């Protein structure tokens, strides 16, 4: 998993019903110190993350399908958590 | 998923019938602000995207096979949506 | 697998019970000579690695699920070993 | 999928019978304009591509196994097509 | 698959029995001309490769599990062959 910051929402026309009602977030990947690291991902949101929040991205299809409860669904990346704290020790 | 812009179509000779009748698009990956980010992908089109349109690329085999309805098919990347709007908030 | 050094721990709010009680480590990827190579990963810890330790990261969902014993779990990267020695010959 | 140009053939000693009789091609990845983009892949050839030809690389294990007809085979990348034309519109 | 050169062996403490008795090699990825290309991988060795040898790395979990004969094993990258010759034509 990697850190990212929610930048906005994506509205798209699909031809697959699996995306109906899903919220797609465009998220900028972050380095561990919270700076944008240059990449981004468009991910399905399951934690109701708000723009500007730091989130945890899980980029693996099997995992995403499991969390969504749709075994064969066309999904790969998800926002799975909202970061509360990173403790550097 | 990531953003891309349709650049053209690819005509290829295959030895597998699974590609018969499929439309293959060559798509330039975009950064969130719509600029070409340097990479590209050749993807199966299922939304009838036109050249120049901004699309959503899903690059995972299991997802692609599910949308195409061919469980064991040799596919990985697909154009799954046409972008209507990206709202930065 | 790749080498990494444990940098800290991540505390996050999830909506999936599979992460309950899991320890998430933020780990900096290392080059073979032990220098930070610029990337990082957030991985589930199963070897009780301490901050500063050099560890072995396995970044594949099916493997992670097998080690955790949760066949359909939403996991991808794990800390699977603590490095004792690298012998260059 | 991505574009590549066949650079040569690889002869290797394996300990797995699945590679017996397979033709392995070393292929340089190309940008859409046909220039080498800096990476390469060693792929199983199923279209009898010749050195110098521009080909289509599919880099996903499940797809490769399906085309080869060996469900559990240790394969990931394949040369799946020979490019006839790329139409930029 | 990609080319790599065996640089050394890795000794690690694991908490999973699947790694017992496995030989882990740290291998530097090579460009097609045999120069180190900047990345590396830690891979399970099944061909008894010696340090300095040029090998073929297969980096896909399902393939690795098939060669090892452990369907659910936590493995991703393997040294699957020792390069005898690369013919550029």
Report CB contact under 8 Å: E2, D42: yes
* Residue B88, min C-alpha distance to chain D (Å): 30
Nearest by CB to residue E1, choosing from D28, D42, D72, is D42
What is the rounded CA–CA span in Å between residue E20 and residue D79? 36
User: Among A59-73, A74-88, E56-70, whose mean pLDDT is lowest?
Assistant: A59-73
What is the structure's pLDDT at D63?
Answer: 76
- CB contact under 8 Å between D28 and E31, yes or no, is no
For residue E66, pLDDT beyond 80: no
Backbone angles phi, psi at D34, to 5 degrees: 90, 5
Per-residue pLDDT, D75:
77
pLDDT of D50: 94
With contact defined as 3+ CB pairs under 8 Å, the chains touching C are A, E
Q: 3-class DSSP state for residue A47?
A: coil
Average pLDDT of the residues of chain E: 87
Q: Which residue, among A29, A6, A39, A11, has the nearest Cα to B89 in the 3D structure?
A: A6
Sequence spans of domains, chain E: 2-82
- Nearest by CB to residue E76, choosing from C60, C67, C88, is C60
DSSP E29-80: EE-TTS-EEEEEEEEEESS-PPTT-EEEEEE-HHHHHHHHT-TT----EEEE
Q: What is the pLDDT of residue E75?
A: 77
Answer whether residue E72 shows pLDDT above 70: no
- Do E26 and C66 lie within an 8 Å CB cutoff? no
Residue of E nearest to C89 (CA): E8
| CATH code of the domain occupying A2-82 | 2.40.50.220
pLDDT tens, residue by residue, C16-55: 677 777 899 999 999 998 999 989 999 999 899 999 999 9
Task: Spell out the CATH class of B2-13+21-82.
Answer: mainly beta
Residue B17, SS3 per DSSP: helix
Q: Indicate whether A72 pLDDT > 70.
A: no
CB within 8 Å: A28 and B31: no
Region E22-45: mean pLDDT is 93
- Reported ipTM: the value is 0.87
Return the residue in D11, D16, D50, D51 with the most chain E beta carbons within 10 A, the one to mutate for interface testing: D16
Q: Residue A7's pLDDT is what?
A: 96
In chain B, positions 37-56, which contact chain D (CB-CB < 8 Å)? 40-43, 51
Cα–Cα dist B11/D85, whole Å: 5
Q: Who has greater pLDDT, E2 or A74?
A: E2
What's the pLDDT band for C72 if we cut at 50, 70, 90? Answer: low
Calculate how close chain B gets to A80, using CA atoms only, in Å: 15
pLDDT confidence bin for C13, thresholds 50/70/90: confident
Question: What's the pTM?
Answer: 0.88
Cα–Cα distance for residue pair C79/E36, rounded to 1 Å: 27
Average pLDDT of chain A, as a whole number = 87
What is the model's pLDDT at position A60? 82
Tell whether C29 lies on the interface with A, counting CB pairs under 8 A. no
What's residue D72's pLDDT? Answer: 66
- Tokens at D59, concatenated: 């880099």
- Tens digits of residue pLDDT in B37-87: 989 999 999 899 999 999 999 988 777 777 777 766 677 899 989 999 999
Residues in chain E closer than 8 A to C89 (CB atoms) = 8-9, 51
Query: From CA C27, how far away is CA C52, in angstroms rounded?
Result: 9
pLDDT reported for residue D39:
94
Name which of C58, C61, C62, C68 to mutate to probe chain A: the one with the most chain A Cβ atoms within 10 A of its Cβ. C61
Q: Which residue among D1, D32, D88 places its CB closest to the CB of B76?
A: D1
Residue B80 contacts A, CB cutoff 8 Å: yes
Give the pLDDT band (50/70/90) at residue A19. confident
CB within 8 Å of E78: residues ≥ 6 apart: D74, E43, E44, E45, E46, E57, E58, E63, E64, E67, E68
């Amino acid at each position: 998993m990697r850190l990212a910051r929610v930048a906005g929402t994506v509205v798209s026309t699909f031809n697959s019903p699996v995306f109906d009602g899903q919220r797609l977030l465009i998220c900028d990947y972050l380095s561990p110190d919270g700076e944008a690291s240059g990449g981004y991902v468009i991910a399905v949101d399951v934690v109701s993350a708000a723009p500007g929040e730091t989130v945890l991205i899980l980029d693996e299809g099997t995992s995403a399908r499991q969390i969504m409860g749709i075994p064969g669904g066309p999904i790969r990346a998800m926002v799975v958590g909202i970061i509360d704290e990173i403790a550097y020790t």
